[in-house]
Amino acid sequence: MVNKLTENELWILSFYRTSEISGALFFGRLARSMKPGLIQRDMTKHFSDESQHAWYWTSCVQRFGTLPLKLSHAYQDKYLEAAGMPANLMEVLAITQTFEKRVIAQYALHSRVPDLKPEILETFNKIMEDEKWHIEWVGEALKRMEPEYGKSYIQDTLKRYWKADKKIYGEVLKEHEDRVKDLLRYRQRTA
Amino acid sequence: MSMASRDEVRAKMAESLQHPVKKLQDDAILTDWVTDSMILVNMVIDLQEDFGIRLVQEDLKDVKTVGQLLAVFERKMSG
Ligand SMILES: [Fe+2]
Ligand SMILES: [Fe+2]
């Protein structure tokens, strides 16, 4: 018999999938706009990774004999609302850095939940390696931008996005409290 | 910026948003043309890459329409 996902599990895996798709679409469009260079190369790989992740979540859900839910994709919009629209490439990379760190933290938290279904854990493990590289390349690109943008402008931008990220994450958790309460309970216990 | 290059920016804007350029009149509201704000971010980056200028948040603070955005580029490109 096929192991079944709970309603909350299906929702959260669908949320991850939607978020990976939004990321892929964003980086895909950006990659298309980039002039030849390292950022162009890394952004194309980033786009390809996020697309792959969306597929991993889709096939993970399918292994439980069902399909992902169609969810609203307003999360990224909320982000921009809280942090202000990034106005240049450095700001785009700064918001990316913030967002990627949030994703890693969320995936790490979820992957430590006791009795996690092995198919889900396997998917986290597959994705995590890529996510670490995302933070790495963006960090390096931001470093290379220091002469052009100035170190303090970059640091201030990162700080601004961190603040916005905290606020949005808190709001999203609150909004979907019922869906993620098992995760939250675990977070409080281990904090 | 000459008339021609203002139209060049407008044409690029249309290409990036995948909208007919004749619909991007000066008084058109930018957010009317996008389904999510990430597309707008991408368009602004796209234009900066193409025209070799850099904007900061301050520049975009009061921008609501196509004409206002064109004016920002005009200012930056002549400066
Ligand atoms: Fe991802
Ligand atoms: Fe990522």
A2 pLDDT band, cuts 50/70/90, is low
pLDDT given for residue A191 in this prediction = 44
Coil, helix or strand for B79?
coil
Phi/psi region, residue A141 (left: phi>0; alpha: psi -120 to 50; beta: rest), is alpha
Q: What ranges make up the beta strands (E) of chain A?
A: none
What is the number of other CB atoms lying within 10 angstroms of the CB of residue A186? 15
Q: Do A76 and B16 touch (CB under 8 A)?
A: no
Give residue-wise pLDDT tens across range A99-134.
Answer: 999 999 999 999 999 889 999 999 999 999 999 999
- Return the minimum-mean-pLDDT range out of A75-79, A98-102, A158-162: A75-79
A25 vs B contacts (CB less than 8 Å): 38
| Ligand found nearest the CA of A134 | 2
A92 vs B contacts (CB less than 8 Å): 41, 45
Domain ranges of chain B: 3-78
Task: Tell me what the mean pLDDT of segment A24-30 comes to.
Answer: 94
Distance A188 CA to ligand 2 centre (A): 25
Closest CA to B43 of A125, A127, A86: A86
Compute the distance between CA of residue B5 and CA of residue A147 in angstroms, rounded to an integer.
29
**Is some CB atom of chain B closer than 8 A to the CB atom of A33?**
yes
CB-nearest partner of B41 from A22, A81, A85: A85
The residue ranking higher by pLDDT, A154 or B5, is: A154
The residue ranking higher by pLDDT, B32 or A147, is: A147
The residue ranking higher by pLDDT, A181 or A40, is: A40
Residue B79, pLDDT > 50, answer yes
Coil, helix or strand for A88?
coil
Top-level CATH class of B3-78? mainly alpha
The residue ranking higher by pLDDT, A85 or A143, is: A143
Closest CA to B9 of B34, B46, B42, B56: B46
- Selection from A3-7, A20-24, A48-52, A85-89 with the highest mean pLDDT: A48-52
pLDDT given for residue A186 in this prediction = 66
DSSP labels, B3-64: HHHHHHHHHHHHHHHT--GGG--TT-BGGGG-SSHHHHHHHHHHHHHHHT----HHHHTT--
Euclidean distance between the first and final Cα of chain A, in Å? Answer: 36
Angle, helices B66-78 vs B37-51, to 10°: value is 30
> Hey, what are B55's tokens?
């904007």
* CATH code that applies to domain A7-190: 1.20.1260.10
A188 pLDDT band, cuts 50/70/90, is low
Distance A27 CA to ligand 2 centre (A): 10
**Is some CB atom of chain B closer than 8 A to the CB atom of A89?**
yes
pLDDT given for residue A3 in this prediction = 81
B9 pLDDT band, cuts 50/70/90, is very high
Q: What Cα–Cα distance (Å) separates residue A31 from each residue in A35, A137, A170?
A: 9, 14, 30
Residues 6 or more apart in contact with residue B55 via CB below 8 angstroms: A87, A88, B44, B48, B72, B76
